[in-house]
């Protein structure tokens, strides 16, 4: 196996990347190898899909399936070898279908076909043992030793960024948002990556193009969420349990949450959000359910403790899942969509009666704890409503700086940086936050500046789109570029969604972003220097020192 896609990848004095029998996340070598084979199989689908598009032939079902399936290869999503194997077999069927269509169209147009890409040349045996022999040929760092490390690093940056984009595309598709133009560009990029590109500047441009494409995907996702569930409104959410039977919903899929809320109505079951599901409480079409009672727990890495303590059923609608057998709750957790863990019940359709039955069979919370509320819900519309007051307070000198401290949480000790940073920003600054990294500080009381809360929770990591809208609005008011604003982005990355959001910000010209808790291990020191030079990308160091640097530049 070889996998280096997340922040907790194994790094020793001699090697970088998870390359033993199991990754740090618990992904087995078999699953990792099958996922790499799946990526190549998807690149073969994209090869034929790209040719089909030249003849105005497309297959929406295959396009949608491609994104969804690619999502299964992100960190902490699918650990089930049989499910991945099944996806590879489906890829074979889709490729053959598109190949036939492409060949027929080319013959009719009297065109010759381009040479097969590396991934399209590959034969994908049906038998698992035979299939697994392909793995060394499709490792995402294939060619290591023969080609420059920078090339491998950039290929990884692009493919991991594209994984993040695929995940957001799937989230948008669940909410009935789809774009054929984005599909065409996705297949083209996937096809390029399936043909082992070696040109450094082409790969760098490709990565930035992935970021730019993801901006459109985030825009679509925002449209899907707000069209179906309404615009989030600032909302107080209780973070303490209430006595009674309960279901905990984790991941990013609001549609699943709504199905659960509908199906639990009148059944005496309280529904709680977990992790990235927290922003759900602010959407009118979700907050209207009185049995959506609160948020339980914190970020994904604490789930083995927190889920073990949750006395009800748990539904994991998307990332981030970790070994449920370690915490003795594997018999009351359910996976959805692309999520999978062998031995855990996977729900295929929209019937949650098994979850309800499980919740009713559990003890539920015995006592109601003293309430503790946090305020959320400052996504695009609410942010824009607050923007004039923020502008006024900036002009009056009452708000000197805006920090965006957001992104993923994770296990590493260095992540206390983000707690330190949030706690230490001066009282005349406000903090925007998003993603699951905020659980490190979102229960603290930050107070307000003349009525504007000092901690403004924008939502999920993809709500970076809302933050971008605010930054653009501020820049317009102050008649300056976004990089001239008293605004600093301090991002925490863990997995591939964060990679693509970083690429999106870079594609929009954002400079001087602080990234941590460490630079991605797949980037060489030379590539890091290139990113530092081109985008003034900064590695986080010590919160106090970084803060001093940020505020000095701001004062100048
Ligand atoms: Fe976190 Fe996981 Fe948003 Fe990610 S729950 S780590 S970037 O999947 O989704 O912040
Ligand atoms: Fe290692 Fe992360 Fe890959 Fe898991 S996802 S195998 S921890 S690099």
Which atom in ligand 2 lies closest to the alpha carbon of residue 3?
Answer: 3
Q: What is the pLDDT of residue 328?
A: 87
The residue contributing the CA closest to ligand 2 atom 6 is: 23
Of 249, 352, 258, nearest to 294 (Cα)? 249
Tokens of 46: 């994209």
If one residue of 10, 21, 23, 163 were mutated to test the ligand 2 pocket, choosing by the most ligand atoms within 8 A of its CB, it would be 23
Name residue, tokens 């919160």.
Answer: 543
3-state helix, strand, coil in the chain (%, to 5): 50, 15, 35
Of all ligands present, the nearest one to the C-alpha of 1 is: 2
Q: What is the pLDDT of residue 555?
A: 66
The residue contributing the CA closest to ligand 1 atom 2 is: 320
The stretches in the chain having pLDDT less than 70 are 554-556
pLDDT digits (tens, 9 = 90+) for 39-75: 999 999 999 999 999 999 999 999 999 999 999 999 9
- Which top CATH class is 235-361? alpha beta
Tokens of 72: 């299964």
> How far, in Å, is the centroid of ligand 2 from the Cα of 7?
8
Residues counted in the chain: 556
Average confidence score pLDDT of the chain: 97
pLDDT digits (tens, 9 = 90+) for 342-358: 999 999 999 999 999 99
Could you tell me the CA-to-CA distances from 446 to 400, 421, 452 in Å, in that order? 16, 13, 11
Tokens of 523: 């980037």
Residue 388: DSSP 8-state: H
Name residue, tokens 């295959």.
Answer: 62
**110 CB neighbour count, 10 Å cutoff:** 6
Full strand arrangement of the beta sheet holding 514-516:
455-459, 429-434, 401-407, 487-492, 514-516, 538-539
Of all ligands present, the nearest one to the C-alpha of 460 is: 1
Domains of the chain, by residue range, sit at: 29-228, 235-361, 377-555
**Statement: 377-555 belongs to CATH 3.40.50.2030:** yes
Which atom in ligand 1 lies closest to the alpha carbon of residue 493?
Answer: 7
Q: At what angle do helices 29-54 and 60-71 cross, to 10 degrees?
A: 150
Could you tell me the CA-to-CA distances from 324 to 47, 274, 299, 331 in Å, in that order? 37, 15, 15, 9
Cβ < 6 Å from ligand 1: which residues?
Answer: 275-276, 300, 319-320, 408, 435-436, 460-461, 494-495, 497-498
If one residue of 4, 16, 21, 27 were mutated to test the ligand 2 pocket, choosing by the most ligand atoms within 8 A of its CB, it would be 27
Which atom in ligand 1 lies closest to the alpha carbon of residue 276?
Answer: 5
Whether 235-361 and 377-555 share one fold: the answer is yes
> How far, in Å, is the centroid of ligand 1 from the Cα of 483?
26
Q: Are 62 and 90 in contact (CB under 8 A)?
A: no
Of all ligands present, the nearest one to the C-alpha of 496 is: 1
Cβ < 6 Å from ligand 2: which residues?
Answer: 3-6, 8-9, 18, 23-25, 27, 32, 75
Q: Which residues of 150-162 are buried (b: 16+ CB within 10 A; e: fewer)?
A: bbbbbbbbbbbbb
Which atom in ligand 1 lies closest to the alpha carbon of residue 252?
Answer: 9
Torsions phi, psi for 80 (to 5 deg): -100, 110
Which atom in ligand 1 lies closest to the alpha carbon of residue 74?
Answer: 8
Q: Whole-prediction pTM value?
A: 0.97
Which atom in ligand 1 lies closest to the alpha carbon of residue 320?
Answer: 2
């Amino acid at each position: 196996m070889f996998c280096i896609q997340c922040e907790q990848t194994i790094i020793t004095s001699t090697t970088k990347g998870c390359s033993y029998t199991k990754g740090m996340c618990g992904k087995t070598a078999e699953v990792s190898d099958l996922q790499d084979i799946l990526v190549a199989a998807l690149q073969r689908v994209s090869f034929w899909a790209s040719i089909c598009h030249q003849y105005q032939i497309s297959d929406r079902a295959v396009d949608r399936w491609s994104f969804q399936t690619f999502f299964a290869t992100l960190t902490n999503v699918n650990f089930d070898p049989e499910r991945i194997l099944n996806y590879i077999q489906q890829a074979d069927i889709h490729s053959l279908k598109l190949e036939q269509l492409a060949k027929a169209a080319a013959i009719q147009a009297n065109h010759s076909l381009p040479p097969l890409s590396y991934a399209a040349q590959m034969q994908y045996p049906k038998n698992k043992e035979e299939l697994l022999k392909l793995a060394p040929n499709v490792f995402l760092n294939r060619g290591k030793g023969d080609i420059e490390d920078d090339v491998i690093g950039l290929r990884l940056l692009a493919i991991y960024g594209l994984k993040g984009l695929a995940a957001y595309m799937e989230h948008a598709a669940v909410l009935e948002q789809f774009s054929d133009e984005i599909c065409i560009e996705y297949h083209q990029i996937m096809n390029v990556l399936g043909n082992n590109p070696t040109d450094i500047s082409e790969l760098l441009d490709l990565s930035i193009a992935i970021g730019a494409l993801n901006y459109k995907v985030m825009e679509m996702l925002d449209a899907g969420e707000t069209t179906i569930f309404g615009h989030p409104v600032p909302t107080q959410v209780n973070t303490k349990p209430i006595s009674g039977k309960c279901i905990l919903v984790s991941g990013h899929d609001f549609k699943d949450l709504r199905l659960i809320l509908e199906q639990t109505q009148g059944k005496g079951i309280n529904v709680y959000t977990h992790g990235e599901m927290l922003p759900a409480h602010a959407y009118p079409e979700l907050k209207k359910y009185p049995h959506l009672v609160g948020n339980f727990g914190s970020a994904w890495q604490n789930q083995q403790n927190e889920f073990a303590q949750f006395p009800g059923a748990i539904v994991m609608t998307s990332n981030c899942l970790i070994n449920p057998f370690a915490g003795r709750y594997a018999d009351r957790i359910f996976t959805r969509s692309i999520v999978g863990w062998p031995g855990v019940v996977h729900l295929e359709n929209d019937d949650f009666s098994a979850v309800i039955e499980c919740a009713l069979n559990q003890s539920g919370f015995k006592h109601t704890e003293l309430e503790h509320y946090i305020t959320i819900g400052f996504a695009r519309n609410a942010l824009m409503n607050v923007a004039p007051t923020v502008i006024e307070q900036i002009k009056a000198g009452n708000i000197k700086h805006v920090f965006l401290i957001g992104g993923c949480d994770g296990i590493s000790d260095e992540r206390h940086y983000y707690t330190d940073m949030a706690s230490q920003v001066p009282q005349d600054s406000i903090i925007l936050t998003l993603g699951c990294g905020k659980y490190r500080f979102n229960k603290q009381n930050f107070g307000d500046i003349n009525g504007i809360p000092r901690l403004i929770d924008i939502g999920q990591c993809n709500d970076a789109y809302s933050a971008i809208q605010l930054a653009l609005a501020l820049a317009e008011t102050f008649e300056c570029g976004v990089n001239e604003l008293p605004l600093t982005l301090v991002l925490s990355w863990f997995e591939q969604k964060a990679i693509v959001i970083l690429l999106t910000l870079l594609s929009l010209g954002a400079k001087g972003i602080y990234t941590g808790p460490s630079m991605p291990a797949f980037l060489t020191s030379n590539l890091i220097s290139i990113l530092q030079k081109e985008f003034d990308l900064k590695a986080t160091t010590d919160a106090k020192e970084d803060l001093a640097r940020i505020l000095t530049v701001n004062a100048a």
